[in-house]
Every structure is written in C-alpha cells, then in structure tokens.
C-alpha cells in the first residue's frame, strides 16, 4: 500500500503538486500507532527524492526562471524549518478553514479564466520588486509547507503564474525547486529528533522517484495544458479532503 501510494504521489507531485494528499493519508491509515511527527517526517523523506528527481528533469529540459526560483527556494528553506518547529504549539485546526477557502478561490479563479497559465505572459511584478516578492512568497509558502503542507505545491504554482506571468509548465518546474527546499528544511527538524522511519521512507522514496520520472516526462511532453488540468483536479481533491476533515473534526 505504501509503495503504490508513493508512486502515485510522485507522479502527481511532479506534474502539479498535491502528492501529500495521497502519501500522508496512506501513512496515517497504515501506521495508526506512530506519532504524527514521525509520519510527517517519513513523508518528507520520501517526497524529497521524488521532488529532486523531477526538478532535475525540468532543469535539463525547461528554461528555468532562476532569478525567481533561487531566492524563493532559499527563503522557503529557512521558513519551512520554522514552520515544522511550530507544529508543536500552534493547532492545525486554526489553519484548515483558511486553507480551504484559499484553495476554493484558487480553483474558481483558474476555472473561470481558461487562458490562465496556458502561455507565458509579462510579469505583473515590476523588475525592481521581483526579488522582494519572490522572497516573500518563499517565506509564506515555506512556513506553510513546513507547518501544514497540503496544497503547498498548488499555491506555489498559482503564485508563479499569477504574479510572475509564468505558464503552468514553467510554474510547476519552479515549484519543484522550491518544494525540494521546503522538504529539506523540514527534515532538518524531523531527522535530529528521530521522527523518520528510515527503511520505510527510503523504500517509498524509490517509488516516489519512479512516479516523478513519469509525471515530469508527461508534463514536459504535453505542456501547460496538461499541467493545468492535473492542477485543477488535484486542487479540487484537496478542497474535498480538507473540507471532509473539517466536517469530521
């Protein structure tokens, strides 16, 4: 079960984010006696390998917007560690309703604008403001991914399309670089505290890489239209999952 979930998670995450929607519930369902921190740490360990693999493929075959990707990733790396450290004292229930409404807004905006992200456009951010905006995006999304996680990849892609005028393919490629940084930042906290199941996490990592290879290959082959469809599907599923969790709480 874990290996199948990791393969599918790697595929989805490489295309449009949202792999945690598949991998995290599988870990919680299969290991109910483990602490949440250990399950999240194991998820990050498996995910970082698939994300790095997808990022490597995108870097080789897609022209990367490094001026945006690098500062965003650095800020996200630092704040994801802080977000993971915050898990212990800030209840996630406070965050869920806000995330739900943000995801709904993202989905509606994307659905109602058929051309959104299909082609690269001029950045809505002035060149002199690009670095501060990239750093701010990295800080907010990095903290969120370290603390809560679900939807982080979707928010990254949406932000890159909306703010910097990227198409969905380049936004997804950039999000992989940033997501690898957030996974690394969170692992800096989880690993020293022993919150990682190494054998399981590394086994899932192999499957995550296989899924990421296929996902990034299809995304590059079929372009932004394909990424946009997967993005909308995964955003809708995230809305359903988080909405269900709120109702059942």
Query: pTM score > 0.85 for this model?
Result: yes
pLDDT of residue 87: 67
Question: Residue 11: which domain range?
Answer: 2-248
Lowest mean pLDDT among 146-160, 161-175, 195-209: 146-160
pLDDT at 210 over 90: yes
Rounded average pLDDT over 49-66: 92
pLDDT of residue 211: 94
Q: Do 80 and 205 touch, CB atoms closer than 8 A?
A: no
pLDDT of residue 249: 65
Torsion sign, CA atoms 47, 13, 57, 113? negative
Q: Do 8 and 234 touch, CB atoms closer than 8 A?
A: no
Rounded average pLDDT over 88-103: 71
Give the span between the Cα atoms of 54 and 173, in whole angstroms: 8
Q: Which two tokens stand for residue 241?
A: 């999952």
pLDDT of residue 157: 93
pLDDT at 5 over 80: yes
pLDDT of residue 99: 73
pLDDT at 222 over 70: yes
Mean pLDDT rounded to a whole number for the chain: 88
Dihedral pair phi/psi, residue 125, rounded to 5°: -100, 130
Longest dimension (CA), the chain: 51
pLDDT of residue 94: 66
Instruction: Count how many domains the chain has.
Output: 1
220 or 248: whose pLDDT is higher? 220
pLDDT of residue 24: 83
pLDDT of residue 82: 87
Going by the DSSP 8-state scheme, the letter that residue 236 receives in this structure is: H
Lowest mean pLDDT among 20-24, 95-99, 164-168: 95-99
Give the span between the Cα atoms of 68 and 156, in whole angstroms: 12
136-155 pLDDT per residue, tens? 999 999 998 887 777 788 89
The pLDDT > 90 percentage for the chain reads 46
The pLDDT-based confidence of 38 (bands split at 50, 70, 90) is: confident
pLDDT of residue 147: 78
Q: Which two tokens stand for residue 103?
A: 């995801």
């Amino acid at each position: 079960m874990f290996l199948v979930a990791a393969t599918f998670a790697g595929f989805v995450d490489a295309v449009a984010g949202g792999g945690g929607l598949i991998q995290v519930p599988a870990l919680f369902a299969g290991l109910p006696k483990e602490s949440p921190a250990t399950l999240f740490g194991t998820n990050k360990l498996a995910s970082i390998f698939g994300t790095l693999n997808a990022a490597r493929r995108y870097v080789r075959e897609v022209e990367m917007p490094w001026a945006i990707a690098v500062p965003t990733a650095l800020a996200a790396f630092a704040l994801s560690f802080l977000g993971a450290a915050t898990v212990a004292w800030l209840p996630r229930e406070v965050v869920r309703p806000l995330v739900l409404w943000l995801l709904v807004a993202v989905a509606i905006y994307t659905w109602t604008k058929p051309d959104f992200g299909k082609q690269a456009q001029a950045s809505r951010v002035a060149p002199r403001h690009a670095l501060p905006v990239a750093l701010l995006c990295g800080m907010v999304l990095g903290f969120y991914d370290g603390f809560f996680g679900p939807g982080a990849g979707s928010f990254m892609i949406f932000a890159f399309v909306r703010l910097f005028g990227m198409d969905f393919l380049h936004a997804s490629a950039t999000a992989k670089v940033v997501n690898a940084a957030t996974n690394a930042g969170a692992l800096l906290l989880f690993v020293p505290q022993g919150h990682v199941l190494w054998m399981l996490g590394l086994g899932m990592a192999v499957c995550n890489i296989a899924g990421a290879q296929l996902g990034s290959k299809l995304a590059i082959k079929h372009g932004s239209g394909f990424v946009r469809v997967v993005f909308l599907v995964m955003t809708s599923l995230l809305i359903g999952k988080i909405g269900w969790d709120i109702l059942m709480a």
